[in-house]
Amino acid sequence: MRARGSFVGGAGAVLLVVAAVAIWWMRHPAAGVAEGRSVQGRTEVSGGGDGGSRQRRRLPEGTDVAAGDGGSVRDAKRTGGLAYASGDFEAARASYEQAIAGRPDDADALNNLGQALVRLGRFEEAILRFERAIALSPDTWAYHFNVAVSHGQSGRWDRAADEYREAARIFPDDYATAYNLGLALHNIGDDQAAISEYQRAILLAPGEPSFHVALGNSLEKIGRTDDAVREFRIFLDMDPLAAEAVNLKAHVAALAVK
């Protein structure tokens, strides 16, 4: 719950949902992650291709298993990726289910199925798939990040914070993980810890103005009004035409006279 009088704006209150392999892939293309089409930033959770691993798991040659109708697991995953990219999430779900029927221990397919289920609003089912992927590959950043997003979207901010911590342990230089961990901590009332995460996100992505609103909200929550005003003004300087700029200016003016 936000403090009374604190600024509630889109920039500071939005869970940053990113392509769950895009950041790693863009910074480390040699890692071989197949899914790298999404743009780094505030985009949708990744669900295409047969990617999903921070460290891509490679099965031995010749282990591809039939997945119904004579098709292979690889074909089913490719079909699922194409369906997801086109916005047909139900078809993507069906294809990934087919792939998993052929290879139940395919963590990438489980992760991608989870992402299709998220887009269908089936969060509880998605969480189960992400958790199975984590059990198979516990040190994969994307799986922890995706299950954390799902917990946050379901209002389980304590669980989200735990998973974001794991994601940050695996991939400490990811700004979205830092920001989302801050937001989760804010939502469970630990604004002091949230401030540290927001500051880390800003260091990692200094060009992202919305992080300053989130930081300002947590600073205001713990009574550091002057510091909050400074962060709100930084946001306004960076993005003066933002949709929330008018309301934020009014909020800053109100804080200034207290």
Mean pLDDT of 231-254: 95
Mean pLDDT of 171-185: 96
For 26-35, 109-118, 181-190, which range has the lowest pLDDT when averaged over its residues? 26-35
Tokens found for residue 151: 């917990």
| pLDDT(237) > 60 | yes
Mean pLDDT of 60-68: 37
| pLDDT(17) > 70 | no
Tokens found for residue 17: 């949902």
Of residues 44 and 160, more confidently modeled: 160
Return the top range by mean pLDDT from 7-16, 64-73, 90-99.
90-99
Helical axes 73-85 vs 89-102, angle rounded to 10°? 170
- Could you tell me which residues are beta bridge partners of residue 66? 72
Question: According to the model, what pLDDT value does residue 68 have?
Answer: 45
Find the Cα–Cα–Cα–Cα dihedral 109, 113, 118, 119, rounded to 10°.
110
CB-based contacts of 190, cutoff 8 Å, min separation 6:
none
Q: Above pLDDT 70, what percent of the chain?
A: 72
DSSP 190-222: -HHHHHHHHHHHHHH-TT-THHHHHHHHHHHHT
Half-sphere exposure of residue 251, counting CA atoms within 13 Å on the CB side? 25
Question: According to the model, what pLDDT value does residue 22 have?
Answer: 32
For 57-61, 105-109, 229-233, which range has the lowest pLDDT when averaged over its residues? 57-61
Contact 103, 65 (CB under 8 A): yes
Tokens found for residue 93: 């779900």
- Where do the structural domains in the chain lie, given as residue ranges? 10-189
In terms of phi and psi (left: phi > 0; alpha: psi -120 to 50; beta: otherwise), the region of 5 is: left
Question: According to the model, what pLDDT value does residue 221 have?
Answer: 96
pLDDT bin (cut points 50, 70, 90) of residue 16 is low
Q: What is the pTM of this model?
A: 0.78
CATH code, residues 10-189? 1.25.40.10
Secondary-structure breakdown of the chain: helix, strand, coil percentages, each rounded to the nearest 5: 60, 0, 40
Look-up: residue for tokens 């713990």?
A: 222
pLDDT bin (cut points 50, 70, 90) of residue 213 is very high
| pLDDT(233) > 60 | yes
Of residues 204 and 64, more confidently modeled: 204
How many whole angstroms separate alpha carbon 146 and alpha carbon 75?
Answer: 24
Mean pLDDT of 90-107: 95
